[in-house]
Amino acid sequence: MISIRSHAKPLLLALAAGGYGLCGIAHAAPSNTLIVGQSAAVKSLDPATVTSASDYRIDENIYQGLVGFKSGTLTPAPSLATRWTIGDKGLTYTFHLRRGVRFQDGTPFNAQAVKFNFDRMLDKSDPYHDTGPFPLATLFYGDIARIDTPNADTVVFHLKHAYAPFLTNLAYPAGLIVSPAAVKRYGKDYGSHPVGTGPFEFASWQRGREITLTRNPHYWGTPANLDKVIFKPVPNTQTRMAELLSGSIDLMYGVPAESLKLFRGNPRFTVHAQVAPSAWYVMLNQKQKPLHNRLVRQALNYAVNKRAIAEDILKGTAVPANGLMSPAFKATWDSHLAPYAYNPAKARKLLREAGYPHGFSTTFYVPTNGSGMLAPVAMASVIQNDLSQVGVKVKLRTFTWTTYLDKVNPGLKPDVGMAEMAWITNNPFTLPNLTLRTGAWPDKGGFNSGYYSNPEVDTLMAQARRATNPARQAAIYSRLQKIVHNDPPWIFVVNAKQVAVTSSRVQGFKLQPSYFLLLDGVHLK
């Protein structure tokens, strides 16, 4: 038997060429069963209690929320609610529920079930609150003052304050609706016995090996095409690619950029890629001189060759960022805002104007790995070299991801000028709200670890919080992007693409900008 870990590279090349049969690994999957290779083992299938993409990608096929996203967009769309109205200047949301829907345990979906879900997360006196913890409840739904259920088909949310991202947050996996009867039956062990209303239902869980879902025969919508979906945790990336090449799995997220050549142009596979709602940037510590100077921060943006990073390091799996927001947010992204061009001469000119004709020195914190961090060390090395060309000398200090977060999230120390960071969010409000407001400095509970402060940004974020009209939102975010572009808190580097590879027998698969893995429309040939 071949050890994949010890022979990863030659094995991958042989598999790509079709020259290996893997004893103990390659096997013929059942004809209508899709096998998904996951990057991590699942912790729980209770969507309100987890934050991992590996968990969510299963949950999204078992459960549904009141609101989903229109396919291919980040626009809220009906799901378990067929329609809604917003009243009282954004303080009241009335949802009209889909009738005749039942949970997979046969119990009815209704307004009381919706109220149960949010009471469980938010009300510490609720008898089922101890089935948590619920890490995103306060952040996403903390503005809910009360929930009324005037009848079985109507639920009314009353908010403490107008909160424009509320609809989008309901579409997030934490807002997926679970069966109250199942929670009451299983209590704290509910996450091992998930029950929702979605197109697939839970069948079995072999811990550390696989989770199996089967088609929900009583699904209210169009039935799923697949009989089964099996999710296999394969944490090692090289092993996961070998299993895809061998036919042991059918779908894989997160293929390293340098390995895509194994799949591109190969008729046995399809590579899927699209710009994600991501931002990869270098935060700049404005408590350190000279980074407090706007001209210096502009100079650093001109000094870094983002296109070279996107094409040479990331092999086209990212695009240069034009500023704060990802182009995945089609309704609010300012497409007319040009990225900072690679212009070392202009960078040196701005440094002279700022009083630093010979540049300066600082320390650059870099993680060796981490969620969404792409190729952090290789990217940092390019940035370090580019900055050195304009006289800015940066010393790299690397840390593992968990240690890195412990050093960065509390706020950068005065002797640290720069740190890499990446965010993936499903609405345009989250990133600036958590990282750019003065009220989001780390000592105030946010993630503004570079201590950026701009009164205009603070004012616009307050307006964005209340703006429920799409045209008004777009106008606010357009203004916000221009201000932040001119007064950069970061070096804007790239917006990553999400990348997945499927075997050629997988048909109907679509990437979603939300990062959701929706499999009800997938079929196998």
Phi, psi (degrees; rounded to nearest 5) at 469: -80, 125
Residue 61 has pLDDT above 60, yes or no: yes
Distance CA 458, CA 432 (A): 9
Identify which has the larger pLDDT, 2 or 488: 488
Q: What is the pLDDT of residue 11?
A: 47
pTM of the model: 0.82
Helix axes 344-353, 294-303, angle to 10 degrees: 160
Q: Residue 370, by phi and psi: left (phi above 0), alpha (psi -120 to 50) or beta?
A: left
Least confident of 130-134, 297-301, 326-330: 326-330
Q: What is the pLDDT of residue 438?
A: 97
Average pLDDT over residues 467-477: 91
Q: What CA–CA distances, in Å, run from 479 to 213, 337, 472, 482, 486?
A: 46, 11, 11, 5, 11
Residue 23 has pLDDT above 90, yes or no: no
Burial of 209 (0-12, 13-18, 19+ CB in 10 A): exposed
Closest CA to 134 of 171, 57, 188, 184: 188
Q: What is the pLDDT of residue 330?
A: 87
Residue 17 has pLDDT above 60, yes or no: no
The band of 371, judged by pLDDT with boundaries at 50, 70 and 90, is confident
Residue 27 has pLDDT above 90, yes or no: no
The band of 254, judged by pLDDT with boundaries at 50, 70 and 90, is confident
Residue 52 has pLDDT above 90, yes or no: no
What percentage of the chain reaches a pLDDT higher than 90? 82
The band of 3, judged by pLDDT with boundaries at 50, 70 and 90, is very low
Residue 22 has pLDDT above 60, yes or no: no
Average pLDDT over residues 488-494: 98
Tokens 């221009």 identify what position? 482
The band of 9, judged by pLDDT with boundaries at 50, 70 and 90, is low
Residue 395 has pLDDT above 90, yes or no: yes
Q: What is the pLDDT of residue 15?
A: 55
What percentage of the chain reaches a pLDDT higher than 70? 94
- Give the burial string for 128-147 (b: 16+ CB within 10 Å, else e): bbebbebebbeebbebbeeb
- Residues 310-333 pLDDT 10s: 999 999 999 999 999 999 998 899
Helix axes 237-246, 8-16, angle to 10 degrees: 30
Residue 2 has pLDDT above 70, yes or no: no
Distance CA 304, CA 493 (A): 8
Q: What is the pLDDT of residue 12?
A: 56
Burial of 363 (0-12, 13-18, 19+ CB in 10 A): middle
- Tell me the average pLDDT of the chain: 92
Average pLDDT over residues 37-42: 88
Average pLDDT over residues 274-282: 93
Residue 28 has pLDDT above 70, yes or no: no
Residue 26 has pLDDT above 50, yes or no: no
The band of 445, judged by pLDDT with boundaries at 50, 70 and 90, is confident
Residue 25 has pLDDT above 80, yes or no: no
Burial of 318 (0-12, 13-18, 19+ CB in 10 A): buried
Question: Cα–Cα–Cα angle for 61, 67, 73, nearest 5°?
Answer: 80
Q: What is the pLDDT of residue 24?
A: 38
Residue 1 has pLDDT above 60, yes or no: no
Distance CA 375, CA 496 (A): 11
Tokens 């958590």 identify what position? 434
- Residues 336-360 pLDDT 10s: 999 999 999 999 999 999 999 999 9
Q: What is the pLDDT of residue 30?
A: 60
Distance CA 330, CA 457 (A): 21
Q: What is the pLDDT of residue 139?
A: 83
